[in-house]
Structure 1
């Protein structure tokens, strides 16, 4: 395996990881921002008010995007397995 191939595989793995994390975290960040603005406007400082909506959004995101995320991971794994002869030789 040449260094270029190793760097390319590492780049693809990092991109897939960043994509998966972004799909899960970005909706949670947006809901957290909206809840924080609501808390600032109403001066309600309850921690569970911030935590529960974010948790529900992450759950819904995983329910709706989970099959796509799993498919992306499976395609990457298949690509790695199919390229084993090229990577070794």
Structure 2
């Protein structure tokens, strides 16, 4: 296994992490922004108000995108295991 192989695997892993976490982070960002706008308009300054809606939104997004995330992780692991012999030499 060369340094180039390690860099390639690391790059693919980081891209997978970014791709799989993007839907959850975007939903959290959007819900947080909506709640912040609501708090500004209504002058409610409760810090814990954003926690429950974000938690519910992330849970729903995980239910909807969970299969896609698992398929991406499974494909990466399958590719890594199939090329294991090439990395050992």
Q: Could you tell me the TM-score, scaled by structure 2's length?
A: 0.94
Task: For structure 2, list consecutive stretches of 5 or more residues without a partner in the other structure.
Answer: none
CA deviation string 1:55-85 (max 9, x = no partner) = 1110000000000000100000001100011
Give the ranges of 4+ consecutive aligned residues of structure 1 lying more than 3 Å apart after TM superposition. Answer: none
Post-superposition offset of 1:45? 1.6
Post-superposition offset of 1:3? 1.1
Post-superposition offset of 1:48? 3.5
Q: Which residue of 2 aligns with 1:77?
A: 77
CA deviation string 1:20-69 (max 9, x = no partner) = 22121111111100100110111012233211111111000000000000
Q: Which residue of 2 aligns with 1:50?
A: 50
Alpha-carbon separation, structure 2, partners of 1:47 and 1:3 = 47
Q: Could you tell me the TM-score, scaled by structure 1's length?
A: 0.94
* Alignment length (residue pairs): 89
Alpha-carbon separation, structure 2, partners of 1:41 and 1:23 = 27
Task: For structure 1, list consecutive stretches of 5 or more residues without a partner in the other structure.
Answer: none
